[in-house]
Amino acid sequence: MLQNRYCGKLIVVEGIDGSGKSTQLALLSQWLRAQGYAVAFSEWNSSPLVRQATRRGKKKAMFTPTTFSLIHATDFADRLESYILPLVKAGAVVCADRYAFTAFARDVARGMSRRWVRNLYRFALKPDICFYFRVPLEVAIRRIVGGRNAIKYYEAGMDLGLSNDLEESFRIFQGRILDEYDAMAGEMGFHIIDAEQSIEEQQRQMRSALMEALGEKLRAGVLRSQPAGAHVA
């Protein structure tokens, strides 16, 4: 991945479904915005250009591990080239809910080789900080099951034929993903957050880690609107 030499910054959250990472990223970005920083959001699997193909592939269960991996890399490339990179260059803080590490964990859990998947994302911009929300599998499953979103076919790894039971397949597949995340945490320099703690405590740790790592750079480089009242004089 390419080092970020630009004024803008890239903040990433990673973790399995049900780890609470999206909630935490939303709180963090609100807090940054309240301080006047220019903040943008990018979600996994959200490129308008690629959406149609992804939807089609999912609806008709056309994906193999290879094409599943490649379509997500295409989606990522589009978001990086047309959204994330221009904004980071321009001096915004981009908050990404999942990044290339999601592919490193998921695609390998689907059977793609580690080396191949890592090379695939070589064009990515290296995040300035990446928070990994670590949660035991059982806790994540309790949070998801009975939630408003049903478990989806590919999220459960049903394409791999691990089990005919959706929940059982989900358990096995997410367990593999969790192992991959844990295995790469050190190598990738993840900032690990214990996601069993209270929401408030996790947010406190996130803010303090962010300021410690990037506070000076944020103040020096990131675009910021004038604090209220600054125009009066």
Q: Which is nearer to another protein, 26 or 70 (CB)?
A: 70
Q: Which is nearer to another protein, 66 or 208 (CB)?
A: 66
Q: How far is the CB of 89 from another protein (least distance, A)?
A: 14
Identify the residue among 45, 78, 137, 209 touching another protein (CB under 8 A): 78
Binding window for another protein (CB under 8 A); candidates: 92-100, 109-117, 163-171, 186-194: 109-117
Q: Quick check: 63 and 159 in contact, CB under 8 A?
A: yes
Q: Which is nearer to another protein, 30 or 66 (CB)?
A: 66
Identify the residue among 122, 148, 198, 231 touching another protein (CB under 8 A): 122
- Told to check if 164 binds another protein by CB under 8 A, we report no
Identify the residue among 11, 73, 105, 214 touching another protein (CB under 8 A): 73
Q: What is the Cα–Cα distance from 17 to 23, expressed in whole angstroms?
A: 12
Q: Which is nearer to another protein, 49 or 145 (CB)?
A: 49
Sign of CA dihedral 50, 18, 96, 29: positive
Identify the residue among 30, 66, 208, 225 touching another protein (CB under 8 A): 66
What contacts 8, CB < 8 A, 6 or more positions away? Answer: 87, 88, 89, 90, 91, 92, 93, 94, 221, 222, 223
Sign of CA dihedral 79, 83, 89, 91: negative
Q: How far is the CB of 161 from another protein (least distance, A)?
A: 11
Identify the residue among 43, 81, 165, 212 touching another protein (CB under 8 A): 81
Q: What is the Cα–Cα distance from 2 to 145, expressed in whole angstroms?
A: 38
Could you please report the per-residue DSSP string of 147-172? SSSPPPTTTTTGGGTS-SSHHHHHHH
Q: Helices in the chain by DSSP H: which ranges?
A: 21-34, 48-59, 65-79, 85-90, 100-109, 114-120, 137-144, 166-188, 199-221
- Told to check if 92 binds another protein by CB under 8 A, we report no
Count of residues making up the chain: 233
Q: How many residues bind another protein (CB under 8 A)?
A: 32
Identify the residue among 23, 26, 27, 57 touching another protein (CB under 8 A): 57
Q: Quick check: 88 and 218 in contact, CB under 8 A?
A: no
Binding site for another protein (CB under 8 A): 47, 49-50, 52-53, 56-57, 62-67, 70-71, 73-74, 77-78, 80-82, 110-113, 115-116, 119-120, 122-123
